[in-house]
């Protein structure tokens, strides 16, 4: 991760800046929702906080596909922190470590804006919060990144608690469930693990697509599910796709997940995006003219998390410039976020077809594993365009290319992006391909 970030900063900062601020820093901790950077002095810390935070948030978002907060500590603070900490098992940096899960107070029904893409999901969530365990069990939300699945899940939890203040609720990501399970085996605390998960009134398990390939965890979850279901306890699940599209998800889980109700959440239309921005702006006490809100909502159409990111950026920009928020200020602030080529209604499949035809290779080769240059380059170009021109997530793009890992897609993207700065022929080819796509 640190190498990835360093690379990003290298590309965007002058050499002097890079040497001063980035070289001297170090990654010391990664958790579920934050990343801690250690810097040599308070001066460095202030500089990072004031000048590098926005970029950092952006890069972390690219890397993790979700919002992660950067934290900064001086070496001195870090040393004190280490001293006070009880000896613990070491945290691995590549792996997002386990964090005990609680409900986020910001994710309530009150703060949720209802629109076309999510009204079904919202309605189902309300029903489940008010009559848990009876009608829709399990309730299953699926849809792309940043569309409000986690938000709705927490909202159910809050609402449920309001009605039954003593209820036991457990929110967990599927990864944390898997970690808890594995730890319980290692530490011989399986009984405790089961207590923890089966003794609840409402179990919320987020992003179950990460159960793919985890046989033992699936087995355990199967039993957890059955125990809760038999007790008429409510279960809510989310995923980025339907259960039967999750690779290597056991058939018996797939069929159980279909017992209740599955609802998809689709990207918000313009009107909903404006409403969401307005709500967030009000909550932050920001004064933003209506046409500026429409402008921002018109630029960012992929998902709500990015929409929020755009607002944060505009806000920061106006603070730095000491200027009111206007449309032209917003346009400046969002320059780097706006993808001109997006919104073309192009699918990955179309891109693959056009690219393979253009380079006269077969579709099978384009999606395959052959490593010869005549094939690798078109493949990377097709991946690049899929990222550039569609709103598909990196894992999804990887999947469409014969099940490749998302890091392969990142690699392809960066390779082409870099090549484009030097290679005019390539640039020309890409332009032509884009033309035929339109
Ligand atoms: P997902 O879990 O689907 O990836 P999240 O629930 O994390 O998405 O939502 C991403 C961000 O967008 C969160 O900050 C959330 O509060 C916000 N958000 C999503 N949907 C809505 C909505 N309908 N109204 C207001 N905010 C929303
Ligand atoms: Mg989520």
Expressed in angstroms and rounded, the spacing between residue 72 Cα and the centre of ligand 2 is 25
Residue 72's SS3 state is strand
232, 134 Cβ separation under 8 angstroms: yes
Expressed in angstroms and rounded, the spacing between residue 377 Cα and the centre of ligand 2 is 34
Tokens 């889980």 identify what position?
253
| pLDDT at site 344 | 56
* Ligand 1 atom nearest residue 147's Cα: 3
Going by C-alpha positions, the residue among 331, 307, 329, 318 that lies closest to residue 285 is 318
Ligand 1 cavity residues, CB under 6 Å:
107, 111-113, 118, 145-151, 276, 304-305, 308
Whose CA is closest to atom 21 on ligand 1?
148
Residues with Cβ within 8 Å of residue 69, at least 6 apart in sequence = 33, 34, 35, 57
Question: What is the best residue among 144, 171, 280, 305 to mutate for testing ligand 1's pocket, by most ligand atoms within 8 Å of CB?
Answer: 305
**Token pair listed for 168:** 């036991």
Expressed in angstroms and rounded, the spacing between residue 112 Cα and the centre of ligand 1 is 8
Q: What is the pLDDT along the chain (438 residues), one digit of tens a residue?
A: 888 899 889 888 887 778 778 988 988 888 878 899 998 887 788 888 888 988 898 888 888 877 888 999 988 787 777 655 544 433 333 322 222 347 888 899 999 999 999 999 999 999 999 999 988 999 999 999 999 999 999 999 999 999 988 899 999 999 999 999 999 999 999 999 999 999 999 999 999 999 998 999 999 999 999 999 999 999 999 999 999 999 899 999 999 999 999 999 999 999 999 999 999 999 888 889 999 999 999 888 888 999 998 998 898 888 888 889 999 999 888 887 765 555 557 889 999 999 999 999 999 999 999 999 999 999 999 999 998 887 777 778 999 999 998 888 888 988 898 888 888 899 999 999 988 887
Whose CA is closest to atom 4 on ligand 1?
146
Question: What is the best residue among 124, 146, 271 to mutate for testing ligand 1's pocket, by most ligand atoms within 8 Å of CB?
Answer: 146
Whose CA is closest to atom 25 on ligand 1?
112
Expressed in angstroms and rounded, the spacing between residue 150 Cα and the centre of ligand 1 is 7
């Amino acid at each position: 991760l640190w190498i990835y970030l360093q690379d990003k900063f290298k590309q965007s900062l002058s050499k002097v800046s890079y040497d001063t601020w980035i070289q001297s820093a170090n990654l010391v901790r990664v958790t579920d929702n934050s990343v801690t950077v250690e810097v040599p002095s308070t001066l460095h810390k202030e500089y990072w906080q004031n000048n590098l935070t926005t970029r950092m948030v952006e890069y972390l978002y690219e890397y993790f596909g979700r919002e992660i907060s950067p934290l900064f500590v001086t070496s001195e603070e870090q040393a004190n922190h280490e001293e006070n900490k009880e000896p613990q098992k070491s945290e691995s940096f590549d792996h997002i470590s386990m964090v005990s899960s609680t409900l986020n107070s910001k994710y309530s029904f009150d703060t949720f804006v209802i629109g076309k893409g999510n009204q079904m999901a919202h309605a189902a969530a309300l029903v489940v919060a008010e009559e848990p365990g009876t009608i829709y069990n399990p309730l299953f939300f699926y849809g792309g990144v940043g569309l409000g699945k986690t938000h709705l899940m927490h909202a159910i939890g809050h609402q449920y608690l309001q009605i039954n203040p003593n209820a036991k609720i457990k929110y967990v990501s599927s990864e944390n469930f898997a970690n808890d399970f594995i730890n319980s085996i290692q530490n011989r605390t399986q009984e405790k693990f089961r207590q923890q998960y089966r003794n609840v009134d409402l179990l919320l398990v987020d992003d179950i697509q990460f159960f793919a390939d985890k046989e033992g965890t699936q087995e355990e979850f199967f039993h957890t599910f059955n125990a809760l279901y038999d007790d008429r306890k409510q279960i809510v699940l989310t995923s980025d796709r339907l259960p039967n599209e999750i690779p290597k998800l056991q058939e018996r889980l797939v069929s159980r997940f279909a017992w209740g109700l599955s609802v998809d959440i689709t990207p918000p239309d313009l009107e909903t995006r404006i409403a969401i921005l307005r709500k967030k702006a009000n909550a932050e006490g920001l004064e933003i003219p209506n046409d500026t809100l429409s402008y921002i909502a018109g630029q960012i159409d992929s998902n709500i998390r990015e929409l929020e990111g755009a607002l944060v950026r505009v806000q920061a920009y106006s603070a730095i410039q000491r200027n009111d928020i206007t449309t032209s200020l917003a346009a400046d602030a969002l320059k780097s976020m706006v993808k001109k080529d997006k919104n073309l209604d192009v699918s990955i499949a179309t891109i693959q077809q056009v690219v393979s035809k253009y380079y006269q290779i077969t579709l099978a080769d384009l999606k395959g594993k052959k490593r010869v240059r005549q094939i690798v380059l078109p493949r990377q170009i097709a991946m690049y365009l899929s990222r550039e021109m569609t709103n598909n997530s990196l894992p999804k793009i990887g999947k469409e290319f014969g099940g490749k890992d998302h890091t392969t897609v990142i690699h392809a993207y960066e390779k082409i992006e870099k090549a484009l700065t030097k290679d005019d022929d390539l640039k020309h080819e890409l332009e032509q391909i884009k033309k035929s796509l339109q």
